[in-house]
Amino acid sequence: MAKKKAKKPTPAQQARKAKLTAKDKKTLNALVGMADGVFKQASRGRAPYLEVPSRSLSNVKYSPTKKIIEMGSSKNKRELFNLSQARTYMQTLLVGRGCKELIEQGKTTSIRGLYYLLKHTIDGTREETFNDQGDCDPVIEDVEVTLNALREELHVYASNRGAMVGNIQLIDSGDEIDCSRMGSGGYAIPSIVEEEVMQFVKCDADFILHVEKDTVWRRFNEDKFWKEHNCILTHGNGQPPRGVRRLLSRMHNELGLPIYCLLDNDPWGYYIYSVIKQGSINLAYESRRMAIPGAKFIGLRSRDYELCELNPSVTIKLSDNDIKRANQIAKYPWFEKKKRWQAEIKKMLTNGFKLEVEALISKDISYVTQEYVPERLAQGNFLD
Amino acid sequence: MANKASGKSKSRRSTAQAMAAKQRSISVSEFFAKNRHLLGFDNPRKALLTTVKEAVDNSLDACEEAGIAPEIWVNITQTEPDRYQVSIQDNGPGILKKQIPLIFGKLLYGSKFHRLRMSRGQQGIGISAAGMYGMLTTGKPVKIVSKLSIRKPAHYYELQIDTKTNNPQILNNRGDGLDIPAGEKGRAIMEKKKIEWEAFYPVPEVEPSTSDDEHAEGETETREAPAPVEVRSGTRVTLEIEAKYQRGRGSVDEYLEMTAIANPHVTLHYTDPEGTLHTYARSTDQLPPEAKEIKPHPYGVELGRLVTMLKELKEGTITQFLTSSFSRVSPAVARRICETAEVSTRSSVKKISRDEADKIYKAIQQTKIKAPSTDCIAPIGEELLLKGLHQVVPGEFYVAATRPPSVYRGNPFQIECALAYGGQNAAQKVSIELLERLIEETDARTLRQFLMNTFDGLGSDSAEKIMKAGEFGSRQSPSKLKQAEIERLHDSMKNVNVSDGQAMQVLRYANRVPLQFKMRDCAITQTVMKMNWRSYGLSQSRSNLPSGPVRVMVHVASVWVPFTSESKEAIAHYDEIQKEIRLGLQTVGRKLGMFLRRRQQVKKEGERRNVFVRYLGEVAQAVSDLNGCDKEEIYNHLTRVAKRVTKEADTKLDDRGNKVSPEDYGDNVLIINDDPEGELTEQLDKTTPQKKLF
Distance CA B72, CA B120 (A): 15
ipTM rounded to 2 decimals: 0.74
Q: Is residue B22 part of a domain?
A: no
Distance CA A301, CA A305 (A): 8
Beta carbons of B644 and A45 less than 8 Å apart: yes
Q: What is the pLDDT of residues B474-501, one digit of tens each?
A: 778 887 788 888 888 888 877 776 666 6
Distance (Å) from the alpha carbon of A125 to chain B's nearest alpha carbon: 8
Q: Which residues of A touch B633 (CB under 8 A)?
A: 43
Residues A123 and A85 in one domain: yes
Beta carbons of A93 and B626 less than 8 Å apart: yes
Peptide bond into A300 cis (omega under 30): yes
Distance CA B76, CA B268 (A): 14
Beta carbons of A124 and B614 less than 8 Å apart: yes
Q: What is the pLDDT of residues B609-640, one digit of tens each?
A: 777 777 888 888 888 888 888 888 888 888 88
pLDDT at B601: 75
Nearest Cα residue to B429 out of B247, B646, B606 = B247
pLDDT at B112: 67
Q: Is residue A41 part of a domain?
A: yes
User: Chain A contact for B277, CB < 8 A?
Assistant: no
What number of other Cβ atoms are within 10 A of residue B209's Cβ?
Answer: 13
Residues B610 and B556 in one domain: no
What number of other Cβ atoms are within 10 A of residue A294's Cβ?
Answer: 14
Do B116 and B294 touch, CB atoms closer than 8 A? yes
- Choose from B610, B619, B684 for mutation: most chain A CBs within 10 A: B619
Beta carbons of A80 and B619 less than 8 Å apart: yes
Could you give phi then psi for residue B684, rounded to 5 degrees? -70, -40
Distance (Å) from the alpha carbon of B289 to chain A's nearest alpha carbon: 56
User: What's the half-sphere exposure (Cβ side, CA atoms, 13 Å) at B90?
Assistant: 25
Q: Is residue B310 part of a domain?
A: yes
Q: Is residue B352 part of a domain?
A: yes
Residues B539 and B475 in one domain: no
Residue B160 to residues A8, B90, B130, B135, Cα–Cα distance (Å): 96, 22, 11, 7
Residues B36 and B141 in one domain: yes
Residues A131 and A227 in one domain: no
Among A157, A187, A218, where does a domain finish? A157
Beta carbons of A96 and B622 less than 8 Å apart: yes
Residues B60 and B139 in one domain: yes
Contacts of B252 (CB under 8 A, 6+ apart): B48, B49, B52, B74, B76, B245, B270, B272
- Choose from A7, A31, A39 for mutation: most chain B CBs within 10 A: A39
Q: Which residues of B touch A31 (CB under 8 A)?
A: 626
Size of interface A-B (CB pairs under 8 A): 101
Q: Is residue B609 part of a domain?
A: yes
Do B309 and B301 touch, CB atoms closer than 8 A? yes
Nearest Cα residue to A109 out of A141, A152, A150, A146 = A152
Distance (Å) from the alpha carbon of A76 to chain B's nearest alpha carbon: 19
Weakest mean pLDDT among A170-179, B151-160, B654-663:
B654-663
Among A141, A157, A173, where does a domain finish? A157
Residues B321 and B419 in one domain: no
Q: Is residue B152 part of a domain?
A: yes
Residues A151 and A178 in one domain: no
Q: Is residue A384 part of a domain?
A: no
Q: Which residues of A touch B640 (CB under 8 A)?
A: 45
B495 vs B332, residue with greater confidence:
B332
Do A38 and A81 touch, CB atoms closer than 8 A? no
Do B307 and B354 touch, CB atoms closer than 8 A? yes
Residue B545 reports pLDDT greater than 90: no
pLDDT at B449: 81
Beta carbons of B626 and A123 less than 8 Å apart: no
Residues A79 and A173 in one domain: no
User: What dihedral angle (degrees, nearest 10) is formed by the CA atoms of B86, B92, B96, B97?
Assistant: 30
Residues A303 and A201 in one domain: yes
Residues B336 and B443 in one domain: no
Confidence of residue B586 (pLDDT cuts 50, 70, 90): very high
Strands B277-280 and B154-162: unpaired
Which residue among B625, B645, B692 sits closest to A124, beta carbon to beta carbon?
Answer: B692
Q: Is residue B285 part of a domain?
A: no
Distance (Å) from the alpha carbon of B669 to chain A's nearest alpha carbon: 33
Q: How many domains does chain A have?
A: 2
Which residue among A9, A35, A127 sits closest to B623, beta carbon to beta carbon?
Answer: A35
Distance (Å) from the alpha carbon of A87 to chain B's nearest alpha carbon: 7
Residues B614 and B562 in one domain: no
Residues B100 and B139 in one domain: yes
Residues B508 and B546 in one domain: yes
The CATH number of whichever domain residue B338 belongs to comes to 1.10.8.50
Residues A262 and A375 in one domain: yes
Residues A353 and A227 in one domain: yes
From the candidates A49, A62, A115, A116, give the one annotated as an active-site residue.
Answer: A116
Q: Is residue A103 part of a domain?
A: yes
Distance CA B512, CA A162 (A): 85
Distance (Å) from the alpha carbon of B615 to chain A's nearest alpha carbon: 6
Nearest Cα residue to A104 out of A28, A191, A50, A42 = A28
Nearest Cα residue to A294 out of A187, A373, A210 = A210
- The tens place of each residue's pLDDT in chain A, 384 residues long, gives 444 444 444 444 444 556 778 888 888 888 898 889 888 888 888 888 888 888 887 888 888 888 888 888 888 888 888 878 888 888 999 999 999 988 888 888 888 888 998 888 887 777 888 888 888 888 988 888 888 888 888 888 877 789 999 999 999 888 999 999 988 889 999 888 888 889 999 988 999 999 998 999 999 999 999 999 999 999 998 889 888 999 999 999 999 999 999 999 999 999 999 999 988 888 888 888 889 988 999 888 888 888 888 888 888 999 999 999 999 899 888 888 888 899 999 999 998 999 999 888 888 888 889 988 998 889 888 888
Do A278 and A334 touch, CB atoms closer than 8 A? yes
Distance CA B594, CA B592 (A): 5
Nearest Cα residue to B509 out of B311, B258, B275 = B258
Q: Is residue A243 part of a domain?
A: yes
pLDDT at B499: 61
Distance CA B673, CA B677 (A): 11
Q: What is the pLDDT of residues B164-186, one digit of tens each?
A: 777 888 888 777 778 888 878 88
> How is residue B604 annotated by DSSP?
H
pLDDT at B76: 93
pLDDT at B40: 77
Residue B416 to residues A261, B60, B263, B299, B411, Cα–Cα distance (Å): 81, 20, 13, 24, 17
Distance (Å) from the alpha carbon of B681 to chain A's nearest alpha carbon: 17
Sign (positive/negative) of CA torsion A101, A107, A108, A109? negative
Domain residues for B628?
Answer: 600-693
Residues A123 and A207 in one domain: no
Beta carbons of A35 and B626 less than 8 Å apart: yes
What number of other Cβ atoms are within 10 A of residue A210's Cβ?
Answer: 27
- Choose from A90, A99, A126 for mutation: most chain B CBs within 10 A: A90
Q: Is B165 helix (H, G, I), strand (E, B) or coil?
A: coil
Q: Is residue A142 part of a domain?
A: yes
Nearest Cα residue in chain A from B623 = A35
User: What's the half-sphere exposure (Cβ side, CA atoms, 13 Å) at A363?
Assistant: 18
Residues A83 and A205 in one domain: no
Q: What is the pLDDT of residues B384-426, one digit of tens each?
A: 888 888 877 878 888 999 998 888 887 888 999 999 987 666 6
Q: How many domains does chain B have?
A: 5
pLDDT at A170: 92
Which residue among A5, A32, A87 sits closest to B615, beta carbon to beta carbon?
Answer: A87
> How is residue B488 annotated by DSSP?
H
Residue B133 reports pLDDT greater than 50: yes
The CATH number of whichever domain residue A370 belongs to comes to 3.40.1360.10
Residues B586 and B655 in one domain: no
| Chain A residue set in contact with B, beta carbons under 8 Å | 2-3, 5-6, 9, 31-32, 34-36, 38-39, 42-43, 45-48, 80-81, 83, 86-87, 89-90, 93-94, 96-97, 100-101, 122-125, 127, 129
Q: Is residue B373 part of a domain?
A: no
Beta carbons of B638 and A90 less than 8 Å apart: no
The CATH number of whichever domain residue B68 belongs to comes to 3.30.565.10
What's chain B's average pLDDT?
79
Q: Is residue B259 part of a domain?
A: yes
Strands B83-90 and B234-242: antiparallel
Largest CA distance in chain A: 73
Residues B174 and B192 in one domain: yes
Sign (positive/negative) of CA torsion B332, B338, B342, B346? negative
Q: Which residues of A touch B615 (CB under 8 A)?
A: 80, 86-87, 89-90, 122
Domain residues for A361?
Answer: 163-379
What number of other Cβ atoms are within 10 A of residue A127's Cβ?
Answer: 14
Residues A242 and A198 in one domain: yes
Beta carbons of A42 and B645 less than 8 Å apart: no
Which residue among A35, A47, A122 sits closest to B641, beta carbon to beta carbon?
Answer: A47
Among A109, A138, A157, where does a domain finish? A157
What percentage of residues in chain B have a pLDDT greater than 90? 9
Q: Which residues of B touch A38 (CB under 8 A)?
A: 619, 623, 634
Q: Which residues of A touch B638 (CB under 8 A)?
A: 42, 48, 80
A372 is catalytic: no
What number of other Cβ atoms are within 10 A of residue B597's Cβ?
Answer: 16
Q: Which residues of B touch A122 (CB under 8 A)?
A: 614-615, 617-618
Residues A259 and A361 in one domain: yes
A69 pairs with which residues across the strands?
A62
Residues B136 and B88 in one domain: yes
Which residue among B611, B621, B687 sits closest to A2, beta carbon to beta carbon?
Answer: B621
The CATH number of whichever domain residue A12 belongs to comes to 1.10.10.10
Residues A97 and A177 in one domain: no
Beta carbons of A83 and B611 less than 8 Å apart: yes
Q: Which residues of B touch A46 (CB under 8 A)?
A: 641
